[in-house]
Amino acid sequence: MVDEDVVVDRLELIDQYTNECKEMRDVSKGEYLDDVILQRAVERSLMNAIQSCIDLAGHIRASEDLETAETSREEIEALVAADILSDETGAKLAEAVGFRNHLAHRYGDIDHDLVYEVLQDDLEWIDRFQREIATWIRER
């Protein structure tokens, strides 16, 4: 059975990291591209938010005895298969796993234009992930 305290703690962390990102949105693209420290702060907050979503998915999957997962993407797929996450949210999170891996392991050069676009336009899925998990917890 899922530990609701773990879920709440992880949702709070995700919220914290997402809010950090949202606070950094008010800079122009030029300012962002010229500020290495800001770039690193955004990258780290995005990585932490995505990793916290993955960790929460893993906790739920394991606690609910869902299908075995060997990768982060499989953790997410298990929650989609169990109708805990919507297909759309699962797809965005699976995409984010690859983005996190790229940022964390620095595969090639970081595309700072892309990171800026994610910061500006692509955080809503994290909010949706949180809502879907919270709804699932309330309805079980």
Q: What is the CATH number of the domain that holds 133?
A: 1.20.120.580
CA angle 73, 132, 121 (to 5 degrees): 75
- What residue ranges of the chain have pLDDT lower than 70? 107-108
pLDDT in tens, 12-45: 999 999 999 999 999 999 999 999 999 999 999 9
Domain that holds residue 32: 4-139
Token pair in block for residue 85: 């996450």
pTM: 0.93
Q: Structurally, how many domains does the chain consist of?
A: 1
Burial of 68 (0-12, 13-18, 19+ CB in 10 A): exposed
